[in-house]
Every structure is written in C-alpha cells, then in structure tokens.
Amino acid sequence: MPTIQTKKRVLVTGGAGFLGSHLCARLLQEGHEVICLDNFYSSNEDNVLALQRHSGFRLLEHDITFPVDVKVDEIYNLACPASPVHYQRDPVQTVKTNVLGALNVLELARRCNARVLQASTSEVYGDPIVHPQPESYNGNVNPIGVRSCYDEGKRCAETLFFDHHRQYGVHIKVARIFNTYGPHMHPDDGRVVSNFFMQALQGKDITLYGDGQQTRSFCYVSDLIDGLVRLMASPDWITGPVNLGNPEELQIRDLAERILAITGSESQLRIEPLPENDPLQRKPDITLAQSLLQWQPRISLHDGLRMTHPYFAGLTQDA
C-alpha cells in the first residue's frame, strides 16, 4: 500500500458515484482533505452521506462540463455515467462530459500544478480481436454506434490527457478500468452484476443477452480503488495507460448461476438478443499494473459477490 507523505487536498469528480464514493472514503481514511464534485446525474448523495460528517470532506454540486476553480494537489477525474442505460440516455451530454470534462480538469491541473488521473475504461478496446487486452492494443471501436458516445468520448479524453502532458507538461495518470462491482452500484444501471442481483432478489427472470457465453472479468471495488491510489502515487514517468481489473474470466451465464446460488433465488434464465456492439470478450492483461504498481486483485469473485449481496438485499427490502 502506498505510504502517505503529506496531507493533500484532493478533488474527486464524480465523487458521489459508485467508484467515486469508495475513493473518497479511502482518501479520507488516509488523512487527506477531499472535495467531492458531482452533479448527481447518475449518482446518489446517499453514497457519501456518512462522509459528510467528516471534517475533511466537502461536497460540491457542479457539472464538470463547466470550469471549476478550486485549489488542489491531486485530481481524480471519474465524472461520467459509466453504464449503457445512463450514458445512452443523453449521448450528447455524455460526449461533453468526457471531452469538456477532461479539458476542464486538465486546465485546473495545469493552473494548480496538480497531478490528474483520468478514469478511462476497457471500452476503449471496443469489441476486441486481441485477447486478453494489453495497453498496447489500439482497439476495435465503432465510432458511430449507440455506445460510441462513451467509447469514443473516453478515447478522446485519453488523447487530451496525453496532448496536455506533451504540450504543457501536465502530470497525468490514465487508468483503463475493467468491469468493477460492489456496494453503491446503482440498482438500475443496466450492468450485469446489478441486473442479476436485483432480478434474483425480486424473483424475476434473469436476463441473459445472446447465448450467455460472452465473457467478462469482474474486479471487486476495494481492489480497483487500491489500484487507482497506487497509480496516483507512482513516479511521474508512469503516465499509463494502465489496465486495472481482475483477469479471472468467466461466462455471463456462469455469473448468473453464481448469483442465483448466493441469493437462493428460484429465478429462471431468459434469453434476449445481444445489444449492438456489445463485446463478446473482455479480459485485462494486468502485466503493467503488476510490474509498475505491484498491484493485483486480492478478492476472488466468490468472496466479492458474497460481500456485495447484503447491499442489494437491503435495496430490495427498502423498496
């Protein structure tokens, strides 16, 4: 685990979201002052309700497509809806969040001489024809599909980060985040883990798209946050991109069966057509993260799903 040299003031954009809220909690635990910026488009203030009692925490309601003026030492840019349900609802706004948001945090980092980390995504690889996906792979992305607002928006954000680094010397870090799960996921975000838990706990059919043989790799949230913190604390010459995810690959049908077993649900599997441009394979090559950050996931899918179950069970009991 990286050691804290000094107390820092850290801006987390998208800080009330799934990943952002866990990151804010981790940074506060390490003794930093945290400014959590969010416009609550796809997040929930309840995710950071407990953090608001902390003297080092400040919640700032703001849309990152507009400039922000705060004095900070580090910036984690997590601001963007990350599930197809949310980012396809307003695709133009999704592109603006990715591109204008990246420009605004980069300009802020330049003014403050701050380090800035971009939460990029495995979606930059599109529907990959290289497996597993290393950072050197340039991807297979449809630039005009229904997912392009997110995929190409994130790719453009990476371009802006590296151009600011080369042209202005901004201290950048780029993490390519693969499928992550855990408490604070939005129950209606359309992602497979939240879908399966909510359907199983409510006794509804489990929706499998395609034949259920497409593969994914799922990383528990605390492991992912540890990777982000390690990347931010790494030497300046480590800019990334660096893949962060769990290389334990499984079929989506297998994931459904595991969640049915954990919940004790008698829900049945229902087959639906595969969405447009939905990748058939997704698995990170984490060789760089292992060698540069001494990072790799520690929590197995079995244990992570069991730790996630009570969160979704609580949501269905409150409904």
Query: What's 140's domain CATH number?
Result: 3.40.50.720
pTM above 0.75, yes or no: yes
* One-letter amino acid for residue 29 of the chain: Q
Neighbours of 158 (CB within 10 A): 20
- Given the residues 76, 87, 150, 181, select the one marked as catalytic: 150
Query: Quick check: is 85 in a domain?
Result: yes
Predicted local distance difference test score (pLDDT) of residue 82:
79
Residue 137 appears among annotated catalytic residues? no
**Over the stretch 168-182, which tens digit does the pLDDT of each residue have?**
999 999 999 999 999
Predicted local distance difference test score (pLDDT) of residue 193:
95
Averaged pLDDT, 155-177: 98
Alpha-carbon distance of 271 to 221, in angstroms, equals 28
Query: Quick check: is 143 in a domain?
Result: yes
Averaged pLDDT, 140-168: 95
Above 50 in pLDDT, residue 2?
A: no
Predicted local distance difference test score (pLDDT) of residue 55:
95
Provide the token pair at 94.
Answer: 């999704």
Q: Which residue range forms the structural domain that includes residue 127?
A: 9-181+219-247+283-299
Of the pLDDT bands very low, low, confident and very high (cuts 50, 70, 90), residue 319 is: low
Query: Quick check: is 99 in a domain?
Result: yes
Query: Quick check: is 262 in a domain?
Result: no
**Over the stretch 4-45, which tens digit does the pLDDT of each residue have?**
458 999 999 999 999 999 999 999 999 999 999 999 988 889
Of the pLDDT bands very low, low, confident and very high (cuts 50, 70, 90), residue 1 is: very low
Query: Quick check: is 112 in a domain?
Result: yes
Averaged pLDDT, 185-199: 91
Averaged pLDDT, 196-209: 93
**Over the stretch 260-314, which tens digit does the pLDDT of each residue have?**
999 999 999 988 887 776 677 889 999 999 999 999 999 999 999 999 999 999 9
Predicted local distance difference test score (pLDDT) of residue 4:
46
**Over the stretch 204-241, which tens digit does the pLDDT of each residue have?**
999 888 777 888 999 999 999 999 999 999 999 999 99
Total of domains in the chain? 1
The distance from CA 240 to its chain's CA centroid, rounded to whole angstroms, is: 16
Asked if residue 91 has a cis previous peptide bond (ω within 30° of 0), the answer is no
**Over the stretch 96-112, which tens digit does the pLDDT of each residue have?**
999 999 999 999 999 99
Predicted local distance difference test score (pLDDT) of residue 275:
73
**Over the stretch 37-88, which tens digit does the pLDDT of each residue have?**
999 988 889 999 999 999 999 999 999 999 999 999 999 999 998 777 888 8
